[in-house]
Structure 1
């Protein structure tokens, strides 16, 4: 019996077969609707399922335009290691939360440098270093930071175990995140990541995404003011010391006038004992001999920056507690005005803070310098150059090689022109943060 025969059936058979006709009619309508809405083709196996996934993805993308979801959260372990490794770990956690369309619960950072002995870690809240409100304001619609008090039900938590070791590949890590996103974890208000510390997570996001998060990290007023005091002291001491000497001329236009602050060069002098051990092992593993730099090599190359002459003010940024060589001010050309924390008279500012805040102050001092010189395998140097690159890009400069530009940076571990350090800009189009996280000798110029 088909639909047509049902329609023209006589009265006597209508009662007997009415139920069958109705069922057949319903099935026919469903099949027509399915054919119109979800077409399938023999040559495209699984097309129907993929089409549904694409619709879901498009819907999620549209929702994200209105901001990150604030009723679902991602929790991460305490973040460890040095300041800039912690900033990368924090950004990686933010981007993980963004991928899962969740708010990141404000994590604890680590005030101390001890990262192997967990019991020695000194936890410090994120908002003791960076401005919580400013972060959410600057990153609005991109990532969002929440507080634990925002959680309504702390009992329902989904624990996500992060793997480690060589078997835990980039692909496995990304597949894990995709499965979590697609599965029914939306029932849980909180996803808690457990396992290896966040800095060891694999990287799945482009440099520009990380840069966006870094732009939202603004120091709290207390630390920013301390950094401003150090910068002011450098300019003041340099100005008074060089008064009467030749006008400073370097690769940027330094004009000594009352309307402009006295310029200075900041050198991230990475010669501390922890670094020398690390960089030598790294050179052996990577077969690259452009990682470690002795004090003598740094001095020689910095002095050969084109245009560097006497009366140049140089601030040497070092981790004093890890420094074994106290002669970092010796061996430089006569006439260069060299300062470090103690000679500058700002040690009292630094000594009252834990390692993390000391590093944050030095970072800001280096970031504001007219010229910056660092090591391309140092995370500290890398993030400073990234921010300085962004400043130049906003000024319309996309390449600094061979040009006299504002905010120039150099890598002293790589030999450049005239025996000086290599000019350095961050490659903002990189698809991941590998070069910045672990260093490279390919630095754009």
Structure 2
């Protein structure tokens, strides 16, 4: 250091050889090194696709790092249909697990954004699902934390996930692995900003998603609404069976076993028909769209279906243009939609998300389920039913001999019946379930 510089330092009361000055010099080196490291780690894709900034936010104390800090992941509001939201939620949970963090309880959406933009209001996770039950069932796997539990303020890292064709699944996975390591693991909160979690790249096997879905237990109020619908279906079924003198309504067995019913997720609404026709053109296949008549015919050809039986038609009434869905069913198959069942008012008092949750539960509890393999709703119902049978020790959950058989009416099986359907739990990703497939594990 030359004389002029030494003189300048002395003018501020500092000496180059002093301990204080050396400490200042070391701090400057550390700060510069840290900035260089952060810049190098952020180099994923273009600068528009990937950036982060350090801010201050309150934290919770549920997840603790080696340094004693709590660590959390925050994600954007989750949107789209109920089952896309469930997939997005599971994907956010699994992302938090990969980063060794606890997921801050995300906001869901009460309505479909493309149908009721003015009603796209955030709804808390615990207004739809049971928070404590989730953490109890998923303990040791993934966990949620409430924002109300945040007590401290510390650095927050904002991360934008990449998007576009140039952003590959490998890039995304590499980024997640980087952010689970030093220096990013020092931050208490990583906030992911950008696109909806449903559209994030998938890095986890179906069984991991199934584990998260098992922890999603509907709130008690919503579950009670589903109870009312199922009870109404079985009550009508009991009356019908008594009127025809069915053996299932006589003797001790009728007191122990509820009257069975089938549920058909009938995708013939105007929005679905537009979507499925475009999908058929893009994928160059003709096994996605199904007409009302085709669905009715194939359900009627299910082998071993004991009649008379109530057929609950799970359909979005507001979007239904064909009001003749009750006609043309085979003798012994008794179709009921919400209005005929007398539960339309029960549904109408709730926003879209809760209506869909009730319908999902009614389909899940059905003795026989028939859906469309390109529908996320149908696919997750079948996944849940498959998981239930696996938990019971069933090795091949297909056909009428199992407890909860499922079928895909858009795929033709034997004797023009719908094809038996079960989820392949050995798949390495949820791709087929997220976007649909004509390759189902029972084929």
Out of 326, 336, 339, the residue aligned to residue 336 of structure 2 is: 339
Correspondence for 1:140: 139
Q: Secondary structure at the match of 2:254?
A: coil
Deviations 1:274-306 (A, max 9, x none): 111111111111112111111111001000000
| Cα distance in 1 for residues equivalent to 2:116 and 2:310 | 40
Matches within 5 A, 1:384-395: 384-395=381-392
| Cα distance in 1 for residues equivalent to 2:247 and 2:326 | 20
Matches within 5 A, 1:123-272: 123-154=122-153, 156-245=155-244, 247=246, 257-272=254-269
Q: Secondary structure at the match of 2:170?
A: helix
Tell whether the 8 Å contact from 1:74 to 1:193 is kept in structure 2 after alignment.
Answer: yes
Q: Secondary structure at the match of 2:256?
A: coil
Tell whether the 8 Å contact from 1:72 to 1:189 is kept in structure 2 after alignment.
Answer: yes
Alpha-carbon distance change, 143 to 68 in structure 1, aligned in 2, over 3 angstroms:
farther
Tell whether the 8 Å contact from 2:326 to 2:335 is kept in structure 1 after alignment.
Answer: yes
Tell whether the 8 Å contact from 1:69 to 1:103 is kept in structure 2 after alignment.
Answer: no
Is residue 91 of structure 1 aligned with residue 90 of structure 2? Answer: yes
Is residue 413 of structure 1 aligned with residue 423 of structure 2? Answer: no
Tell whether the 8 Å contact from 1:415 to 1:422 is kept in structure 2 after alignment.
Answer: yes
Matches within 5 A, 1:1-12: none
Deviation (angstroms), 1:392: 1.2
Alpha-carbon distance change, 183 to 288 in structure 1, aligned in 2, over 3 angstroms:
farther
Pick the structure with greater CA Rg. 1
Correspondence for 1:365: 362
Correspondence for 2:271: 274
Q: Secondary structure at the match of 1:90?
A: helix
Correspondence for 1:377: 374
| Cα distance in 1 for residues equivalent to 2:115 and 2:161 | 18
Is residue 121 of structure 1 aligned with residue 128 of structure 2? Answer: no
Deviations 1:35-71 (A, max 9, x none): xxxxxxxxxxxxxxxxxxxxxxxxxxxxxxxx96482
Tell whether the 8 Å contact from 1:115 to 1:121 is kept in structure 2 after alignment.
Answer: no
Deviations 1:337-381 (A, max 9, x none): 211111111112111100000000000000000000000111101
Tell whether the 8 Å contact from 2:386 to 2:397 is kept in structure 1 after alignment.
Answer: no
| Cα distance in 2 for residues equivalent to 1:286 and 1:256 | 49
Is residue 286 of structure 1 aligned with residue 283 of structure 2? Answer: yes
Q: Secondary structure at the match of 1:156?
A: strand
Tell whether the 8 Å contact from 1:153 to 1:189 is kept in structure 2 after alignment.
Answer: no
Tell whether the 8 Å contact from 1:68 to 1:98 is kept in structure 2 after alignment.
Answer: no
| Cα distance in 2 for residues equivalent to 1:360 and 1:131 | 13
Correspondence for 1:444: 441
| Displacement over 3 Å in runs of 4+ | 67-70, 115-120, 152-155, 246-249, 400-403
Deviation (angstroms), 1:256: 6.7
Deviations 1:247-276 (A, max 9, x none): 389xxxxx9723211100000001111111
Is residue 404 of structure 1 aligned with residue 401 of structure 2? Answer: yes
Deviation (angstroms), 1:332: 1.1
| Cα distance in 2 for residues equivalent to 1:310 and 1:203 | 42
Alpha-carbon distance change, 216 to 431 in structure 1, aligned in 2, over 3 angstroms:
same
Q: Secondary structure at the match of 2:180?
A: helix
Deviation (angstroms), 1:106: 0.3
**Unmatched tracts of structure 1, length 5 or more:** 1-66, 250-254
Q: Secondary structure at the match of 1:192?
A: strand
Is residue 425 of structure 1 aligned with residue 422 of structure 2? Answer: yes
Alpha-carbon distance change, 342 to 297 in structure 1, aligned in 2, over 3 angstroms:
same
Tell whether the 8 Å contact from 2:63 to 2:72 is kept in structure 1 after alignment.
Answer: no
Tell whether the 8 Å contact from 2:390 to 2:397 is kept in structure 1 after alignment.
Answer: no
Correspondence for 2:352: 355
Matches within 5 A, 1:32-111: 69=64, 71-111=70-110
Alpha-carbon distance change, 333 to 119 in structure 1, aligned in 2, over 3 angstroms:
closer
Deviation (angstroms), 1:150: 2.8
Tell whether the 8 Å contact from 2:410 to 2:418 is kept in structure 1 after alignment.
Answer: yes
